[in-house]
Structure 1
């Protein structure tokens, strides 16, 4: 988990080293979308964005994100918070403390597992949002100039990728619908963090499974060396 903290691009658990900037280019052919972004921690601090929409192929929409009003990636912050909480569950157990029962150990492991699962899911499964939510998003105020009212954009994390999406809202026979296009790029540190989340989850689950097996023996207590438990 400490290794995961070191790979994370936001300050966690006292790891307050300088945040590095990464630049990525996201494109979708044929010249439909192009976005050059600077990613620092949980924020897109700069972006040059240009795109065409389905019903206006001759019009290129352009906008930017500037340093003084960055676009926040809440998923990164959420994942970091869950990781930090998992570490706090471990640190809250005194190093000299002797667990009194398997249930006590399983309770702590369950709390750690829950945090790790939520942290990993934050990065893998983007929160579903309605088109109305996107258009009213605080992040849309980061764009300069603003986009027309029928357009919205979104940046989100999906697994090890940063995804840029454009949405165009329209009314067809009184029914609102939207078209969307997207481009994506791989973010190296995301891949590393997800691998470490997965390894931590597997180790934690293996330990939990072993304790569950041993706790089935009536003569098993935490720290015991019963013959039946050892011969299993």
Structure 2
């Protein structure tokens, strides 16, 4: 090997060790701060943040007032909602029903996103600050766990799990509406990105063919927008470090000799 190649290899080895011992921990510390800040924006206590459960009120209207819903969102549940809706074929009929605090409508997406965020924090906290990483594989394992949790948390809010009409009609939430809606009407609340969405479905059976018409109204929820921004920042930071480590992982002979430090708890 030429002297210039030896020097380049030695420099790469030094940079690799610096990244493992200094930059990885610096990024994990940044990630910890971002995740905790993200948890603080959630309306329910997360990650040791035991603040009061947040309550917001929203008005969701679908012009020309096919739907109108006044919602109280408390934590991860709709604790009250006044619902007015019309169906296309009966424009003169207004159906009215309500969600009451005795039977709240739970938004499971918020709870799921919070659980994944807490899992990401656990993966970060599992790495002792004095631990000396010895290989790129070790770091990639940790980053993979953190990235997975963050991606699942963000996806829980951005991509709602749509239910079949039959499942909606039979759902526990529908049964808790007072007064109950006709059997051919279903309503649903869900999160999609930074919005709270209220949807109504009218099911009809014409000559054995089941059809339905759908209407929806939505409103922007400020804390959701902030949470999604912080999820994105954390994901980008984690991915950037992963990309850098992947470059070093191409050099299979790059490892760090045995050093003192507590083992990782996995």
Q: Same fold (TM over 0.5)?
A: yes
| Within-5 A mapping of 1:39-188 | 39-188=73-222
Shift of 1:129: 1.1
Task: Give CA-to-partner distance per residue, 1:87-110, whole Å, 9 cap, x none.
Answer: 111111222222221101101100
Higher Cα radius of gyration: 2
Aligned to 1:9: 43
Q: Retained in 1: the 8 A contact 2:44–2:52? A: no
Map of 2:65 onto structure 1: 31
Higher relative contact order structure (alpha carbons within 8 Å, sequence separation ≥ 6):
2
Please, which of 184, 192, 212 is the counterpart of residue 226 of structure 2?
A: 192
* Partner of residue 4, structure 2: none
Gaps of 5+ in 1: 224-232
User: Aligned partners of 2:88 and 2:245: how far apart in 1?
Assistant: 57
TM-score with structure 1 setting the length: 0.93
Q: 1:175 deviation in Å?
A: 1.2
Contact map agreement 1:164 1:183 (CA 8 A) in 2:
yes
Query: Helix, strand or coil for the counterpart of 1:60?
Result: strand
Aligned length: 224
Q: Is 1:102–1:222's contact at 8 Å kept on the other side of the alignment?
A: no
Give the distance between the partners of 1:107 and 1:52, measured in 2 at CA: 53
Contact 1:78–1:119, Cα closer than 8 Å, also in 2: yes
TM-score, with structure 2 as normaliser: 0.81
Report which of the two has the higher share of strand: 1
Question: Does the CA-based 8 Å contact 2:140-2:242 persist in structure 1?
Answer: yes
Moved over 6 A (4+): none
The equivalences for 1:217-232 within 5 A come to 217-221=251-255
CA contact (8 A) 2:44 2:54 kept: no
